Amino acid sequence: CGKTLADWGAEVIKVEPQNGDFGRYSGQNFGVPTSEDVNPHFELLNGNKKSIVLNLKNETGYRAMLKLLGKVDVLITNYRQVALNKLGLDYKTLSEKFPKLVFAHLSGFGLEGPIASSPGFDTVAYFARPGFMLDFAERDTSPISAPFGVGDLTAGSTMAGAIGTALYKREKTGKGERVETSLYGQSIWGLGIVLQSVKHGAVYPRSRKEATVPLNNCYKCKDGEWIYISVLEYDRYCKSLFKLMNREDLCENEKFNNAKGGEENNVELISILDEGFLLYDRETWSKKLKEADIAHDYINHMKDVLVDKQAYENDFIIDYEYQSGEKTVIAQPPVRFGDSRVSQHRLAPKLGENSIEILKSLGYSDNEIEEMSEKGITLIRK
């Protein structure tokens, strides 16, 4: 959320403990370098920010945090409610001190309910609990491996938009607001259409060989590569597809030439389409489907995104080179304002890189900052 707002032009200050946000080191879990000078995982989520170290459990550090909150528009936190209460950084306390503050709280499972206080990374709250891992795997196989960070980034994007709305409301009313979202809630919102279908009888997990709509399914081509076709208007496009695979006979067969028939005879039709797609390689199929105006795309590997012109020419992903010469890639928030391209990427801050600057802006003297550093209340880099 903070990275998105920073990329959109906000000044974002990251308040870290003495040993730093764990995100400075967690890239090692994904095989990514985590040195102080080359840290792509931390860079992805913290470029364009500033960093200040404050020990919030210390009274002096807490008072410094309150001074900072008195100057900013928004507080973004993913601390659990019990931790916020202990620190005196809960919404009730802060809204009384700072009535114009927008308090943005991201949680694992929401603020109410029996597991509201449970820890919740996106692997458990976004993927495991809502059904992603079991119900989108091929039936009778193991659960899918949850990809790290997908829920975090999508929930953060939702929160960034909500913060903008809360700030607009404040402009109209003069009052701050608590804005809350969760990984579990974000996942359920994303699954909204699927959950409705389950409510009305759909059964998951399922096999691609039994897809309810055979024209909304994946197929293997002659070269062994996979392609996905997505036909929502069955009656409009089915005959065009049948002709592409030289099966004009299907166009007159009421078992397959209408949406009701295709659904009732889905297993048989998928078997026919499996044979048809083996006629040509994936590139040839793509050309034929494009000419027929049938929505489709390659089923790619993630490594393919790293060389995809479509991604680079829209700034969905950018190349980044560190001062050392080492290179990485950074995904970007997928929003553009007017004709502007991606904002200039500033290196993610070193731990406490901006402590002196920020504390001075809050009225602390050099001697006071030095004393705070000596007592472990802050960390300064000279």
Q: Is 152 designated active site? A: yes
Contact 158, 188 (CB under 8 A): no
- Respond yes or no on whether the N-terminal peptide bond of residue 333 is cis (omega within 30° of 0): no
Q: Which residue matches tokens 């801050």? A: 349
Separation of CA 351 from chain center: 24
- Can you tell me the distance from the alpha carbon of 44 to that of 72, in angstroms, rounded to the nearest whole number? 24
Give the DSSP H or E segment for 319.
Answer: strand 317-321
Q: How far is CA 278 from CA 218, 222, 298, in A?
A: 12, 4, 15
In the three-class reduction of DSSP (H, G, I as helix; E, B as strand; rest coil), residue 120 is classed as coil
Give the DSSP H or E segment for 122.
Answer: helix 122-122
- Can you tell me the distance from the alpha carbon of 290 to that of 101, in angstroms, rounded to the nearest whole number? 51
Of residues 7, 90, 122, 152, which has the active-site annotation?
A: 152
- Can you tell me the distance from the alpha carbon of 167 to that of 93, in angstroms, rounded to the nearest whole number? 20
Q: Which long-range contacts (CB under 8 A, 24 or more apart) does 340-343 make?
A: 341/315, 342/7, 342/315, 342/318, 343/7, 343/8, 343/9, 343/48
What are the DSSP calls for 49-116, one per residue? EEEEE--TTSHHHHHHHHHHHTT-SEEEE---HHHHHHHT-SHHHHHHH-TT-EEEEEESS-SSSTTT
Active site residues per annotation: 152
